[in-house]
Amino acid sequence: MTTNATALRDEVRVKYAEAARTVGASGCCGSSCGCESPDFGSSLYDRGELAELPDAAVLASLGCGNPTAVAQLGEGEVVLDLGSGGGIDVLLSARRVGPTGFAYGLDMTDEMLELARANAARAGAANVEFLKGHIEEIPLPDASVDVVISNCVINLSVDKSQVFAEIARVLRPGGRVGVSDIVAEDRLSAADRAERGSYAGCVAGALSIGEYRDGLLAAGLEAVSIEPTHEVADGMHSAVVRAVKPR
């Protein structure tokens, strides 16, 4: 990994470690508490679902969508959440797949993993596991999950093509991707994106819509769709990303 890539990864780790500590110490997160987020966090979820989760899982939601709804999870499925943070999407996924299913969360930040595991214990979730690692090197076997979800995290990776390759590797044939992420309009250059926000703030590192589509296709996925949902900066959008691994 290059020096610049290592520095960017460390920047992201520090930001989200601080967000986890802020939630743990003050029970608060979001821009008013010093947790920069591209959007709305927990406001994108059904209030009834959130009422059943620990407050710390809800407060630590720093995403840009609701991937558990995007992925349309079913009973008995195995789900992997890339960049699981405080665990909100893992816990919601675990409820949707039921006792015969399983939900993994993957995160590189010790503080977020500690928070997520505590939230899982408070929720009494038996069908979840939080793994430490990088989304460019997923610590799971080939063809081991039915669904990969992620909430505004892939844009933070320093090697997105490797993330897409890893997603394709761990998905079973016929498995699917249901991701919420930040994307740029194709008219924006990398410099344009950097002017609109920081890397750790989920803006500067975002792919264009065309780059995102090409990356998923190059990894061997198909039926790729990228649907912008709302603008987060000029020419930058939260989007719903779907794809399927061929059978």
- Rounded Cα gap, residues 193 and 236, in angstroms: 8
Which tens digit of pLDDT belongs to each residue from 138-171? Answer: 999 999 999 999 998 999 998 999 999 999 999 9
Residue 84 has pLDDT above 60, yes or no: yes
User: In Å, how far from its chain's centre is CA 207?
Assistant: 15
Mean pLDDT (the chain) is: 85
- Residue 14 pLDDT: 82
Cα dihedral 183, 188, 194, 199 in deg (nearest 10): 20
Q: Which residues contact 81 (CB under 8 A, 6 or more apart)?
A: 67, 89, 90, 93, 103, 104, 105, 106, 149, 150, 151
> What pLDDT was estimated at residue 33?
30
The H or E element that residue 229 is part of is strand 222-233
Fold of 3-244: Rossmann fold (3.40.50)
Question: Could you give the percent of the chain with pLDDT greater than 90?
Answer: 62
Tell me the mean pLDDT in the region 171-181.
96
Spans of all domains in the chain: 3-244
Q: How far apart are CA 97 and CA 95, in angstroms?
A: 6
pTM, 2 dp: 0.83
User: Residue 123 pLDDT > 80, yes or no?
Assistant: yes
